[in-house]
Structure 1
Amino acid sequence: MVSASSLLLPSSVRDFASCIGDGAACTAPSSTRTRRGSAAVQAQPSTLSVTASYRVALASSSSPPLQLRLTWAHSPLGPTLSFSPSASGRKVLVRRRRGSCSVPSSGEDEAVESESELSASSPRLALFWDLTAARFDPAASPEPVSGYYVVVAVESAEVVLALGDLAAEFVKAKFEGTTQIPMAAPFARGERVVVAVSSGAAAAVTHTARARFAEGGAEHEVSVGCAPGGGGGGGGDELWVSIDGKRAVQARRLRWNFRGNQTVFVDGEPVDVMWDLHGWWFRREPPAPGCAVVMLRARSALESRLWLEEEAAAPAFSLLVEAFKSPP
């Protein structure tokens, strides 16, 4: 049985993780209606948001590592950025394309409208950003690909996180004497996508993400796909996970086996793959949209449990993909 308390994940994901054991499979309720066969239709998912979590250590303090979270999302006015100093900390929503602000450690969400100077009474973290020249891939996620920087520093002017191709130049100009630029890799990445499925139509969907399962390791292309079959009762439904174009996980009869897990090996190390499609198949009541969840998480060694309590303090990399039928 998975220990949900050890997961640094949203509560909705912890709920499904806590009910999955090795080789687990669930049975659909007997009242569930069977699906009539129909021709497969390709549906292209649209990425709503990308959340990256970073674990950074403070050289000037013996405090535990910080866990910083950045979320890139789409809005009617274009891509947006929000920042939080922790999973439960106060979220700062960046509205201007360039600026800086002090980051509260708790409280309600705050929209940042203008650049502000730091003071002695400011919280320990400072956020700097410049998205004025940011370039995005219109066919991919709201996360910029170049032309930007996001920098986080502590009150002592110690830079703890520097993202973007313009970060090094900004840090050199802003923090004189800083020689080391910490280009940290995320220890967790979450992507939310919407799949536009027409009423009564069967759709084959594939979403592709980039993941680095080990610090300093190679970056891999991870594709998560789902296709309905033509037979009644969901017997032909299929879920797959491919890594660098090679099929790693394949699950069928998803109307019955809508929850499960499997362990694969990437770069010689175990990676746990879990899926929960219950909400996608059976949640029809508004306002909560149907949701499918697939997660990949690295492990440092083979164990009888998916994750150990002692790994909570220093979690291995995880990739979480949530697919919705309509925006949540």
Structure 2
Amino acid sequence: MRDFPSCFGENGVQIADSSSSSSSGGRQTAQNLVTCVYQSKLCGRSCLITVTWSKSLMGQGLSVGIDDATSQSVCKVDIKPWLFSKRKGCKTLEVDGRNKVDIYWDLSSARFGSGPEPLDGYYLALVVDCEMLLLLGDLRKEAYRKTNAGSPDSSPLFVAKREHIFGKRVYCTKAQFCDNGPVHDVAIECEMEGLGDPCLTIRIDKRIVMQVKRLAWKFRGNQTILVDGLAVEVFWDVHNWLFTQSAGSAVFMFQTSLSAEKLWSSQNFSDSSAALRWSGSQTIRERQASGFSLILYAWKNE
């Protein structure tokens, strides 16, 4: 069994604290976060765009970060659209003292589900030199009309997603493992109460694709499954569920790369709150060949 790859490289850009939790009396409290990472080009250089959607008692939140191929932070903007005046707007950020990135958003008609990421009725647009760097949401015509931007020569690549999911026994999300591929229902099930030998089951579209028995002995590991004809490597770490008193999360990663060992640095994944980092420029250039990564933090509802 390979060690669980807990980071995207030693010299990478920290996406965020991966547990996104705070401690109170020794207990961790999960925040409702979804972080998406896109690969694009900024002024001819490869860059990573990180979009984090958050949800709290105050409402919805949005953070946008841009990092270039040298893994140096270029810019970051925090937007709080729960404020009435901030549900739509624009910010201009200066990059390297000479280039400007315009960030436009309109969440005034956005529809949200149980998670922090909007379902529809919105757009988020990043524009550089009158060219669309990244466009999210279904209001595409409105975004192009507002920004007066031209279409990019190539579309950004959706390379990674990190999400916090919640449940008591079953933890569900949706995932698209390849460009233009179908969106699948992903369900992780773990029944532990009253069982001497807990079992971990993963279903894709209600079909069992993986089962791990004797989970107390195999609380960390990896296994390959097939989705849409692609080999998907699944890593899991359920140590916190089984052996800790605090309300820590289990961690799961789905990686479509056929050569994951070449692209992921591995270390002993003894702490599910370890920071996720993206590796440097070499990995950025290889992302299109390496595929998509989905990281899930599964928190038990009290």
User: Are the counterparts in 1 of residues 234 and 252 from structure 2 also a CA contact under 8 Å?
Assistant: yes
CA deviation string 1:252-293 (max 9, x = no partner)? 2222211011001112121000100112322336xxx41200
Q: How well do the aligned residues superpose, as a CA RMSD in angstroms?
A: 3.2
Structure-to-structure mapping, 1:184-199, within 5 angstroms: 184=156, 186-195=158-167
Q: Which runs of 5+ in 1 are unaligned?
A: 14-45, 107-120, 196-202
1:248 — aligned with what?
209
More strand by share: 2
Answer whether contact 1:136 1:144 (CA < 8 A) is retained: yes
Q: What secondary structure sits across from 1:281 in the alignment?
A: helix
Query: Which stretch of the first structure deviates more once superposed, 255-264 or 90-99?
Result: 90-99
Structure with larger RCO (C-alpha < 8 A, sep 6+):
2
* Map of 2:275 onto structure 1: none
Q: Which has the larger radius of gyration?
A: 1
Q: What is the TM-score of this pair, normalised by structure 1?
A: 0.68
1:261: which partner in 2?
222
Find the partner of 1:160 among 133, 140, 160. Answer: 133
Sort the Cα spacing of 1:269 and 1:194 in 2 relative to 1 into closer, same or farther, 3 A.
Answer: closer
Aligned: 1:149 with 2:118: no
2:40–2:157 Cα contact (<8 Å) kept: no
Distance 1:53-1:245 versus aligned 2 partners, 3 A rule: same
SS in 1 for 2:119: coil
CA contact (8 A) 1:263 1:273 kept: yes
CA shift for structure 1 position 325: 4.3
C-alpha displacement of 1:175: 1.2
What residue number does 1:272 align with?
Answer: 233
Percent same amino acid among aligned pairs? 30
> Would you say the 8 A contact 2:37–2:160 is kept in 1?
yes
Question: Counterpart of 1:126?
Answer: 102
Matched residue count: 257
The equivalent residue for 1:99 is 89
How far apart are the structure 2 equivalents of 1:215 and 1:291?
Answer: 29
State how far apart, in whole Å, the 1-side matches of 2:16 and 2:78 are.
22
Contiguous gaps of at least 5 residues in structure 2: 19-29, 81-85, 265-281
Residues 262, 56 of structure 1: alpha-carbon distance in 2 compared, 3 angstrom cutoff: same
Amino acid corresponding to residue 62 of structure 1 in structure 2: G
TM-score w.r.t. structure 2 length?
A: 0.73
2:66 to 76, 85, 93: 85
Equivalent AA in structure 2 for residue 295 of structure 1: M
